[in-house]
């Protein structure tokens, strides 16, 4: 197991949205979700640099909750760095919504 592998709280921000989900990283894969979206993809760590490539797809329609990239399915490309406290801070973009900037903080909850 590498130091990055574990179960994380995912805090994400765009200019219009702020939300939370969870993400499990193991053996080069990343899987998780939140109340309306699932996240599945790959994770690479080299030194303190982290790259996540995720397919993000809607699994539920709940009340007024909307996808942050305004589409039911998209690709999310994230680059970040491991920082103190078992956290990863990163920025990303979706090719399907290139004008929406994205920030992410992953906080490790468990190995």
8 pLDDT above the threshold of 50: yes
Contact 19, 8 (CB under 8 A): no
Q: Which residues pair with 51 in a beta bridge?
A: 44, 79
1 pLDDT above the threshold of 70: no
Mean pLDDT of 15-42: 97
Mean pLDDT of 22-31: 98
Residue (of 16, 23, 3) closest to 78 by Cα position: 23
Mean pLDDT of 102-108: 98
String of DSSP letters for 65-82: ---TTSSSEEEEEEEEEE
pLDDT of residue 3: 81
Burial of 68 (0-12, 13-18, 19+ CB in 10 A): buried
Q: pLDDT tens across 42-97, in order?
A: 999 998 999 999 999 999 999 899 999 999 999 999 999 999 998 999 999 999 99
In whole angstroms, what is the distance from residue 14 CA to residue 92 CA?
10
């Amino acid at each position: 197991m590498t130091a990055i592998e574990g179960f994380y709280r995912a805090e994400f921000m765009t200019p219009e949205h702020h939300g939370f989900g969870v993400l499990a990283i193991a053996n080069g894969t990343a899987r998780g979700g939140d109340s309306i979206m699932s996240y599945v993809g790959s994770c690479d760590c080299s030194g303190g640099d982290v790259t996540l490539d995720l397919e993000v797809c809607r699994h539920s329609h709940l009340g007024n909750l909307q996808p942050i990239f305004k589409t039911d399915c998209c690709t999310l490309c994230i680059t970040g760095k491991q920082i103190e406290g078992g956290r990863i801070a990163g920025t990303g973009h979706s090719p399907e919504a290139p004008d929406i900037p994205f920030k992410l903080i992953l906080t490790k909850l468990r190995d």
